[in-house]
Amino acid sequence: MSESDKEKQKLYYPSPELATTARVKNMEEYKKIWKHSVEKPREFWAEEAKMVDFFTPYKEVWTGSTDDDFVGKWFTEGKLNVAYNCIDRWVEKGFGDEESLIWMGEDDTIKSYSFSQLKDEVSKAANALKSLGVKKGDRVCLWLPMISELAIIMLACARIGAIHSIVFGGFSAESVKDRIDDSECKVLVVADEVKRAGKAKPMKINLKGIIEQCPSIEHVAVVKVTGNPTYEYEKDVDFSALMATQSADCPCEPMDSEDVLFILYTSGTTGKPKGVVHTTGGYLVYGMSTNKYVWDYSCLLDLKGAEPKDRDVWYCTADIGWITGHTQIIYSPLALGAKTVMYEGTPTWPHKGRFWEICQKLGVTHFYTAPTAIRALMKYGAEEVNKWDLSKLKMLGTVGEVCNWPEWKWYWDVVGKGTGGEKPVGRPIVDSYWQTETGSYMMVNFGSITPMKPGSCTFPFFGCNPVLLNEEGEKINTPMTQAYFAYDMPWPGLMRTVWGDHDRFVSTYLTKFKNHYFTGDYAQIDEKGYYFILGRSDDVIKVSGHRLGSAEVEAAINSHDAVAESAVCPYPHSMKGSTIFAYVTLMSGVEGNEELKTDIVKHVRAMAGPAVKPEVIMFSDALPKTRSGKIMRRVLKAIALQGDIGNVMTLANPEVVQALVDERAKLGEIKF
Ligand code: WT7
């Protein structure tokens, strides 16, 4: 075994002082509580739900049953409001002047909101939405950069019971339209422009010609970021001006536990994106519970001996356009009464140490980012980190994809200041495994106590019972054996349905393995029971930790005039984890050249958003298909990687394979 292999397989320990104030004191206690949580989930979740203030108490914790109604209803007939739990209750308990959301702009502006100030801003935004006719149950689409208004308006929706559907700012206007249409949003909130790396970039103008085709939209609420002139549409409302005239008094709408809090679209294997539906009570309880135990930060719910003003400072670097931003920047930390940081910009502007500068400036104690960001930052070396005072940091974390050994080691050594040796000790790296669908973490190490294994998301969170299954649905208990990754019981934060398509929910997640939630991932355990995620078992491509559905990317490519057909697969990328490798069959008579490749890439980015970029395009006369006409992606992946292609006898057209192999050879070695 090489030195680095040995290093990789060691256990790494959290700094011992963390355990002294931990909410779960040690691994024995973790195991005991976990066992109780899966044996008596109703008892366990009833206890956890005490963290939430209900206007009307709930009747039953959970109505489901794992062999009949898998998901069930949680905290039935309880009435509550998420914004109330995030903001108002802290004001009512006398913490109105304490910091809540700390927003920092690219230009260093800091807007630190006390709970009272946040309440006022959210109430004004809520009244502004109401004045546009938005009522409980209406859908509001938010397409915004990481400006403070994004946080405020999402909380405003929660306050009045409107359902928000946030679309990542890096997606295209076309994708905004699809999402608006699918859930029939009444209002779209958009920024005039975006600030990126010191420059103003257009945003709203991209809607020209598209927003006119969204019949459900009654108003386009424009948030002024730069105030520069942009495309004007007859349904525009100056939302910044409207908010300024509103009263700061707006009651919180009592919502049923099972009322929808938000829809968030995510890519699936086939067809259009799925509107993942999260509800009010279960989502809130689950998010709070995971964050409280895993990170152990001091917060108003449990100050752990700190003065309110000296609470820990939580910084999650995600964009609110993804589930991580929803659950980990806004809802869970605020409901716990934490100080939560939201940053407008990118990690490398105006300099390569921006994240670490923010940690110093805002006194960050808990820092949560993605492996793709660590890979991008590690190439600038330790100097960029060491320039800053990170002495307040207690815990680090990652999410979105496997945190592989090189970036794990760098994070541990350079940011975590961990030791080497037989029993390495340092700032823990929390590896959290979850999905848009699952609300919050299902596999995760408890920062203060769990011994870590690099690349492993370790053990299940309370109430989650993971199982490894083979194709037939039989349990695989053999260590180091790849299997399908599923859960044999639900938890309160699990999605309830796909918006407008419950059958799709059932068929995607609950059908492959009866009475189980199937994640779509492969995983394995080692001899010690540590879980390792091995990647997607379906056609979802993870680029920089973000999910892209092959069908959507292909649809964007196919909409180019010169393209007859296409198929995409993941290809390794040193920064992004994977990138997109596209096989493109052109219309007859069209000549494939470099210029056309550039044009296709441009077209795809315009259709699907700048985040969607096929970095390799290979023209191919035909694609390998099964007799039923399905593209054989396994073969395409192998050809892209110039690996072993395996058996192609089941193909309808095995002869195309050699041509593709030859074509691929012409591209030579491709390294990102
Ligand atoms: C997919 C979900 C949930 C927030 C971000 C991504 C992969 C997620 C990990 C991890 C290995 C991970 C899985 C999962 N994934 N976290 N810690 N280790 N893989 O949310 O876009 O819904 O993607 O991300 O493949 O299924 P998402």
Range in 23-32, 270-279, 384-393, 502-511 the model is least confident about: 270-279
E-assigned strand segments in 595-637: 614-619
- Give the single-character DSSP code of 461: P
Check if 458 has its Cβ closer than 6 Å to any atom of ligand 1.
no
Name, of 99-113, 262-276, 586-600, the range with top average pLDDT.
99-113
Give the residue from 536, 554, 557 showing the smallest Cα distance to 545: 536
Give the residue from 414, 378, 490 showing the smallest Cα distance to 61: 490
Check if 536 has its Cβ closer than 6 Å to any atom of ligand 1.
yes
CA distance 473 to 335: 38
Please report which confidence band the pLDDT of residue 325 belongs to, taking 50, 70 and 90 as the band edges. Answer: very high
Check if 547 has its Cβ closer than 6 Å to any atom of ligand 1.
yes
Report how far Cα 103 is from the mean position of its chain's Cα atoms: 19
Give the residue from 311, 323, 363 showing the smallest Cα distance to 90: 311
Instruction: Count Cα neighbours of 520 within 13 Å in the Cβ-side half-sphere.
Output: 22
Ligand 1 centroid from CA 524, angstroms: 15
Contact 92, 98 (CB under 8 A): no
Contact 214, 141 (CB under 8 A): no
Range in 10-14, 158-162, 238-242, 593-597 the model is least confident about: 593-597
What was the pLDDT predicted at 5?
84
Check if 456 has its Cβ closer than 6 Å to any atom of ligand 1.
no
- Ligand 1 pocket: which of 547, 576, 578, 612 to mutate (most atoms within 8 A of CB): 547
What was the pLDDT predicted at 550?
86
Instruction: Count Cα neighbours of 214 within 13 Å in the Cβ-side half-sphere.
Output: 30
Closest-CA residue, ligand 1 atom 17, reads 433
Q: Mean pLDDT over all residues of the chain? A: 95
350 preceded by a cis bond (ω within 30 of 0): yes
CA distance 203 to 259: 32
Ligand 1 centroid from CA 400, angstroms: 4
Check if 400 has its Cβ closer than 6 Å to any atom of ligand 1.
yes
CA distance 243 to 188: 15
Range in 56-60, 252-256, 555-559 the model is least confident about: 555-559
The atom number, within ligand 1, closest to the CA of 519 reads: 26
Residue type at 3 in one-letter notation: E
Strands 517-525 and 531-536: antiparallel
- Ligand 1 pocket: which of 440, 542, 612 to mutate (most atoms within 8 A of CB): 542
Check if 533 has its Cβ closer than 6 Å to any atom of ligand 1.
yes
Check if 431 has its Cβ closer than 6 Å to any atom of ligand 1.
yes
- Give the single-character DSSP code of 327: I
Ligand 1 centroid from CA 71, angstroms: 21
Check if 465 has its Cβ closer than 6 Å to any atom of ligand 1.
no
Check if 73 has its Cβ closer than 6 Å to any atom of ligand 1.
no
CA distance 502 to 519: 17
Ligand 1 centroid from CA 105, angstroms: 28
Q: Determine the average pLDDT of the residues in 178-194.
A: 97
Ligand 1 centroid from CA 648, angstroms: 31
Check if 464 has its Cβ closer than 6 Å to any atom of ligand 1.
no
CA distance 188 to 180: 8
Check if 120 has its Cβ closer than 6 Å to any atom of ligand 1.
no
Element of type H or E holding 520: strand 517-525
Closest-CA residue, ligand 1 atom 13, reads 401
- Ligand 1 pocket: which of 264, 266, 434, 442 to mutate (most atoms within 8 A of CB): 434
Q: Determine the average pLDDT of the residues in 324-349.
A: 97
Closest-CA residue, ligand 1 atom 27, reads 435
3-state SS assignment for residue 142: strand
Element of type H or E holding 431: strand 429-432
Ligand 1 centroid from CA 578, angstroms: 13
Ligand 1 centroid from CA 663, angstroms: 33
Q: Reply yes or no on whether the pLDDT at 180 is more than 90.
A: yes
Check if 326 has its Cβ closer than 6 Å to any atom of ligand 1.
no
Contact 300, 319 (CB under 8 A): no
Ligand 1 centroid from CA 435, angstroms: 5
Please report which confidence band the pLDDT of residue 518 belongs to, taking 50, 70 and 90 as the band edges. Answer: very high
586-594's contacts with Cβ under 8 Å and 24+ in sequence apart are: 586/562, 586/619, 587/561, 587/562, 587/563, 588/564, 590/562, 592/619
Contact 459, 525 (CB under 8 A): no
Looking at the DSSP bridge assignments, the partners of residue 238 are 222
Ligand 1 centroid from CA 402, angstroms: 8
The atom number, within ligand 1, closest to the CA of 323 reads: 4
3-state SS assignment for residue 657: helix
Check if 435 has its Cβ closer than 6 Å to any atom of ligand 1.
yes
Q: Alpha helix (H) ranges present in 281-423?
A: 281-295, 323-324, 332-336, 354-362, 371-378, 383-386, 405-410
Ligand 1 centroid from CA 394, angstroms: 24
What was the pLDDT predicted at 545?
86
What was the pLDDT predicted at 215?
97
Give the residue from 95, 149, 107, 102 showing the smallest Cα distance to 362: 102
Domains, the chain, ordered by start: 3-83+280-465+487-513 (3.40.50.12780), 113-256 (3.40.50.980), 540-667 (3.30.300.30)
Structure tokens at 274: 């799925």
Q: Reply yes or no on whether the pLDDT at 315 is more than 90.
A: yes
The atom number, within ligand 1, closest to the CA of 434 reads: 3
Residue type at 436 in one-letter notation: T
Check if 457 has its Cβ closer than 6 Å to any atom of ligand 1.
yes
Q: What is the pLDDT of residues 68-85, one digit of tens each?
A: 789 999 999 999 999 999
Q: Determine the average pLDDT of the residues in 228-250.
A: 96
Q: What is the pLDDT of residues 131-155, one digit of tens each?
A: 999 999 999 999 999 999 999 999 9
Give me the count of residues in the chain: 672
The atom number, within ligand 1, closest to the CA of 267 reads: 21
Ligand 1 centroid from CA 399, angstroms: 7
Residue type at 176 in one-letter notation: V
Q: Reply yes or no on whether the pLDDT at 176 is more than 80.
A: yes
Check if 434 has its Cβ closer than 6 Å to any atom of ligand 1.
yes
What contacts 554, CB < 8 A, 6 or more positions away?
566, 567, 568
Check if 399 has its Cβ closer than 6 Å to any atom of ligand 1.
yes
CA distance 240 to 252: 22
What was the pLDDT predicted at 150?
98
Q: What is the pLDDT of residues 621-671, one digit of tens each?
A: 888 888 877 888 888 999 999 988 888 888 888 888 899 999 999 988 899
Q: Determine the average pLDDT of the residues in 265-283.
A: 89
Contact 447, 428 (CB under 8 A): yes
